[in-house]
Amino acid sequence: MRKHTILFLDIDGTIITPEDEIEQSTKEAIKQVQQQGLEVFLATGRPLHEINEIGEELQIESFIGYNGAFAIHKGKEVCMEPMEASTVEAFLNIMEDKGHEAILYTNEKNLLTTNEAPVMRKFINQFHLKHNERYHSSYRNHILGISLMNLKANDVALYEEAGIIHLSPINVEGFKDHAFDVIRDKVHKGFAVSKVLDFLGLSKETAIAFGDGMNDKEMLSFVGEGFAMGNAQPELLPYAKHQTTDVRNSGVFNGLKSLGLVE
């Protein structure tokens, strides 16, 4: 068996720079490993219905989205794990009480708690969200992920006490200090990676992953070769076997080169 068989790549801060670009070296690295027969997945907190253009640009057809709640391999569903409706309702009550905003994601839509707030417009523009509607309770059984905004440091505990979840800061400029992804304790990128490996009959020792945020910690610690980007949150480093250069300095290319997979 080949030493390496599959590669999982986070998007923001891992393959996409703060300037919203993908380095040519990253594109070349992905192309080279694909030519060697490695499976390549994008593994992101983003909703999958909003990353088609990135997949097409990189010729990637397999994805983990919503921080591990949904995974597909070349059009075939691997796993889908909606959130508990009771947790969704509890969070909405906290948001209303504290004046927080959120986007709740289904596998087709981004459901907004408001259309007007400047922070919401900024978030939508940053992540190129197009399939947007106002949230309605009829969707509460179909929520795969949530992004929270306008939180203060002491607000985090309110949500973590309301569900079997933890909040992960969104490691993107302009959002690091107040925006969080909701990560379930049992449904996260590491969970989806394990489902994908079982589906494909691959071992975790042959898997590689790159990430930069705390929503990547379970994924990086699960695979055989986990890489934290040079721009990673410092708290992520203990979960990674390796650290590479940052997203603006060929981080993915240099990491894969250290494994002898690109040149």
Q: What is the mean pLDDT of each run of 10 residues along the chain (263 residues)?
A: 91 97 98 97 97 96 98 97 96 95 97 94 95 96 97 93 91 93 96 98 97 97 98 97 98 98 95
Q: Contact, 26 vs 250, CB < 8 A?
A: yes
The conformation of residue 48, written as its DSSP 8-state character, comes to G
pLDDT at res. 45: 96
DSSP bridge partners of 148: 102, 180
Structure-token pair, residue 222? 């699960």
pLDDT at res. 33: 98
Q: What residues does CATH 3.40.50.1000 cover in the chain?
A: 6-80+187-258
Structure-token pair, residue 67? 């921080």
pLDDT at res. 168: 94
Q: What residues does CATH 3.30.1240.10 cover in the chain?
A: 85-184
pLDDT at res. 15: 98
Q: Rounded to whole angstroms, how far apart are CA atoms 83 and 13?
A: 26
Q: Which amino acid is at 63?
A: F
Architecture (CATH level 2) of domain 85-184: 2-Layer Sandwich (3.30)
pLDDT at res. 1: 56
Measured distance between the N- and C-terminal CA atoms of the chain, rounded to whole angstroms: 22
The conformation of residue 113, written as its DSSP 8-state character, comes to S
Q: Rounded to whole angstroms, how far apart are CA atoms 57 and 195?
A: 26
Q: Which residues contact 100 (CB under 8 A, 6 or more apart)?
A: 94, 148, 149, 150, 151, 155
Structure-token pair, residue 82? 């909606």
**For 6-80+187-258, CATH number?**
3.40.50.1000
| pTM assigned to the model | 0.95
Q: Contact, 59 vs 39, CB < 8 A?
A: no
Q: Contact, 80 vs 92, CB < 8 A?
A: no
Phi, psi dihedrals of residue 41, rounded to the nearest 5°: -115, 140
